[in-house]
Structure 1
Amino acid sequence: MKPVYPLRRTCKEVSALLIAREDRALPLVERMALRLHMAVCEACPKFERQLLTMRQAMGRWRHYSED
């Protein structure tokens, strides 16, 4: 179902967009909605930082070797 306000997203929708952004480029409307939500939400930027931390940790783990 499309949102009534095209740029308004819930935290649940934004978390899905943040995860999807890892795999694909988001369309302009989704990027704008994400940016607007992140500007007013306290929790979602924290979730975004957690995703970044996990991505960095996985990258380091992939390149780890016991020499």
Structure 2
Amino acid sequence: MQRYLSRAEFAERIGVLTGTLSRYKLPEPDAMIGSTRGWTAETIDAWNAARPGKDAGAGRGPSA
């Protein structure tokens, strides 16, 4: 059986609050059950690794 993750599980997997997802252009869902979207872990991980702005500001030193 294939396992699909909900919006809440999507948010948890990428380390943000569920409400934060509305700021992002999420990938197309892998499954729809009625109006409920579901994604595979692989889809979420690939999207998260490629999303623009991820780790923005990483490696910056203190402001001068």
> Which protein is richer in strand relative to its size?
2
Q: TM-score, normalised by structure 2?
A: 0.30
Q: TM-score, normalised by structure 1?
A: 0.29
> Which protein is richer in helix relative to its size?
1
